[in-house]
């Protein structure tokens, strides 16, 4: 019996790796382990065997059974991986194909209006000598709050409802101001850059609020930078975006990372400043929070505030898109509805 077992083992080992699909694997399993399978066939003789033989054959048979089960599990995993790989091969698509290559069944849609506006604003800033920086969506406490003059106990943390990770040390960035911090860490002044990107806030959604939206943060650091420089760049930016000169005004605004901080309003483009529904009859629309970078922020970014100063501003891209295209609900922007996106193929 032991010899027969050895032979069966050899036969099993030689054939198990040749199995290439799940059906033949199942059949193979019952051929070996089934009631009328090969193993039981050998063990039939056990009834009349001596106790010693029963013991040794029983132990060898159990060991073999375990080997069969383990090999079958391994082989099954191999078959499944092969299946996935061949499926991937069949459905492979070259995502780098450009639209001058005809892709059957695929239709090019438009750029998302936020992408369009982001690129346009990047171009405006590039033409004014700014760099474009990027930063991670998952940030740490330091880059999102601490370095921006918002320590742990600061009530300003409540200004932004934050998605925290369970370690309470990481979060989804609540603003692109983290890119300011990363920019300061990576550059020696003088410099000027903008950092566009998605930001996240734990807020209920409605016509003017989304959990994820887009900002574009800008920063300029140099010698003797003044509010006049800030106004100049903001005016240039806005008249480029809206393709005409716009009137702006500064109101005081509070953000812990700037001092003084401002809200920059533009004269309402719908009514020309006489008052309408969009500007709530005030003639002005709030568009751009900004200010002179707080010395603590410069210090946290490794810059000596005795020698250098600068301004920073944040632009809400979704709001800008809504104003330009007269979209009255921010949720359209994330709807994923192609009928919406297709309207913006070109500006
Ligand atoms: N980070 C601020 C916000 O998201 C905006 C801001 C940027 C304000 C830069 C001032 C300067 O609310």
| Each residue's pLDDT tens digit, 239-275 | 898 888 888 899 999 999 999 999 999 888 778 889 8
Regarding the beta carbon of 175 and ligand 1, being less than 6 Å apart is answered: yes
* Residue 85 domain-assigned (yes or no): yes
CA 13 from centroid of its chain's CA atoms: 47
Regarding the beta carbon of 314 and ligand 1, being less than 6 Å apart is answered: yes
Q: Which residues of 75-113 are buried (b: 16+ CB within 10 A; e: fewer)?
A: beeebeeeeeeeeeeeeeeeeeeeeeeeeeeeeeeeebb
Of 160, 177, 212, the residue with max ligand 1 atoms within 8 A of its CB, to mutate for a pocket test, comes to 177
Beta strands 191-200 and 131-132 are parallel
Q: Is the pLDDT of residue 346 over 90?
A: no
From the CA of 226, how far away is ligand 1's center (Å)?
18
| DSSP symbols for 283-304 | SEEEEEEEEEEPHHHHHHTT--
From the CA of 88, how far away is ligand 1's center (Å)?
44
Q: Name the phi and psi angles at 328, rounded to 5.
A: -100, 5
Statement to judge: residues 285 and 194 lie in one domain: yes
Written as six digits, the tokens of 299 are: 């210090």
Cβ 132 vs Cβ 126: under 8 Å: yes
Q: Which atom of ligand 1 is nearest to the CA of 176?
A: 1
Statement to judge: residues 148 and 84 lie in one domain: no
Statement to judge: residues 48 and 128 lie in one domain: no
Q: Say which range, 42-51, 106-115, 197-206, has the weakest mean pLDDT.
A: 106-115
Q: Say which range, 203-217, 254-268, 326-340, has the weakest mean pLDDT.
A: 326-340
* Residue 97 domain-assigned (yes or no): no
Q: What is the mean pLDDT of residues 155-177?
A: 89
131 vs 47, residue with greater confidence: 131
Of 254, 257, 261, 298, the residue with max ligand 1 atoms within 8 A of its CB, to mutate for a pocket test, comes to 257
Statement to judge: residues 297 and 335 lie in one domain: yes
Classify residue 315 by burial, with Cβ atoms within 10 Å: 0-12, 13-18, 19+. Answer: buried
Query: Which residue, by CA, sits nearest to atom 9 of ligand 1?
Result: 313
CA 88 from centroid of its chain's CA atoms: 24
Q: What is the mean pLDDT of residues 99-127?
A: 79
Per-residue pLDDT at 68 = 92
Cβ 97 vs Cβ 104: under 8 Å: no
> Could you tell me which residues are beta bridge partners of residue 268?
none
- Tell me how far CA of residue 322 lies from CA of 66, 123, 251, 326, in angstroms: 66, 20, 23, 5
Q: How many domains are there within the chain?
A: 2
Statement to judge: residues 53 and 127 lie in one domain: no
Q: What is the mean pLDDT of residues 208-213?
A: 88
Statement to judge: residues 38 and 133 lie in one domain: no
Statement to judge: residues 86 and 121 lie in one domain: no
From the CA of 337, how far away is ligand 1's center (Å)?
30
Query: Which residue, by CA, sits nearest to atom 10 of ligand 1?
Result: 290
Statement to judge: residues 239 and 292 lie in one domain: yes
From the CA of 179, how far away is ligand 1's center (Å)?
11
CATH code of 296's domain: 3.30.930.10
Q: Is the pLDDT of residue 232 over 70?
A: yes
* Residue 108 domain-assigned (yes or no): no
Q: Say which range, 131-135, 148-152, 181-185, 335-339, has the weakest mean pLDDT.
A: 335-339
From the CA of 112, how far away is ligand 1's center (Å)?
24
Regarding the beta carbon of 177 and ligand 1, being less than 6 Å apart is answered: yes
Written as six digits, the tokens of 325 are: 């295209």
Regarding the beta carbon of 311 and ligand 1, being less than 6 Å apart is answered: no
* Residue 247 domain-assigned (yes or no): yes
- State which residues form the domain around 34: 2-91
* Residue 98 domain-assigned (yes or no): no
Per-residue pLDDT at 190 = 97
Q: What percent of the chain has pLDDT over 70?
A: 95
* Residue 189 domain-assigned (yes or no): yes
The mean of the pLDDT values for the chain is 89
From the CA of 33, how far away is ligand 1's center (Å)?
69
Statement to judge: residues 306 and 159 lie in one domain: yes
- Tell me how far CA of residue 294 lies from CA of 5, 258, 273, in angstroms: 82, 5, 33
Q: Is the pLDDT of residue 52 over 60?
A: yes
Interatomic CA distance for residues 290 and 277, integer angstroms: 25
Domain boundary (56, 91, 126) is at: 91
Statement to judge: residues 207 and 283 lie in one domain: yes
Per-residue pLDDT at 347 = 46
Torsion angle, CA of 187/190/192/197, rounded to 10 degrees? 20
From the CA of 134, how far away is ligand 1's center (Å)?
16
End-to-end CA distance of the chain: 84
Element (H, E) at 219: strand 212-222
243 vs 109, residue with greater confidence: 243
Statement to judge: residues 83 and 118 lie in one domain: no
Statement to judge: residues 117 and 80 lie in one domain: no
């Amino acid at each position: 019996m032991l010899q027969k077992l050895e032979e069966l083992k050899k036969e099993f080992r030689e054939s198990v790796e040749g199995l290439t699909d799940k059906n033949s694997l199942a059949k193979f399993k019952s051929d070996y382990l089934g009631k009328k399978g090969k193993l039981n066939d050998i063990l039939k003789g056990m009834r009349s065997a001596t106790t010693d033989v029963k013991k040794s054959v029983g132990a060898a048979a159990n060991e073999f059974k375990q080997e069969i089960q383990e090999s079958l599990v391994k082989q099954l995993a191999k078959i499944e991986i092969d299946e996935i790989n061949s499926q991937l091969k069949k459905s492979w698509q070259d995502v780098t194909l450009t639209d001058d290559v005809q892709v059957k069944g695929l239709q090019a849609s438009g750029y998302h209006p936020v992408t369009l506006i982001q690129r346009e604003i990047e171009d405006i800033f590039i033409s004014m000598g700014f760099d474009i920086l990027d930063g991670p969506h998952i940030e740490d406490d330091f880059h999102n709050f601490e370095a921006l003059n918002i320590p742990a106990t600061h009530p300003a943390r409540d200004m932004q409802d934050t998605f925290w990770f369970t370690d309470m040390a990481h979060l989804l960035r609540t603003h692109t101001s983290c890119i300011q911090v990363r920019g300061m860490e990576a550059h020696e002044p003088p410099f000027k850059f903008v950092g566009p990107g998605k930001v996240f806030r734990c807020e209920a959604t409605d016509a003017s609020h989304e959990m994820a939206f887009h900002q574009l943060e800008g920063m300029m650091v140099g010698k003797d930078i003044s509010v006049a420089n800030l106004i100049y760049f903001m005016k240039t930016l806005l008249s480029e975006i809206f393709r005409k000169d716009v009137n702006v005004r500064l109101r005081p605004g509070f953000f812990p990372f700037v001092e003084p901080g401002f809200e920059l309003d533009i004269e309402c483009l719908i009514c020309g400043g006489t008052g309408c529904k969009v500007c709530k009859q005030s003639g002005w629309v709030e568009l751009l929070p900004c200010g002179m970078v707080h010395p603590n922020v410069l210090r946290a970014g490794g810059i000596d505030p005795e020698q250098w100063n600068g301004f920073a501003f944040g632009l809400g891209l979704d709001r800008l898109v809504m104003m330009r295209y007269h979209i009255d609900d921010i949720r359209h922007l994330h709807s994923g509805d192609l009928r919406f996106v297709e309207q913006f193929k070109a500006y």
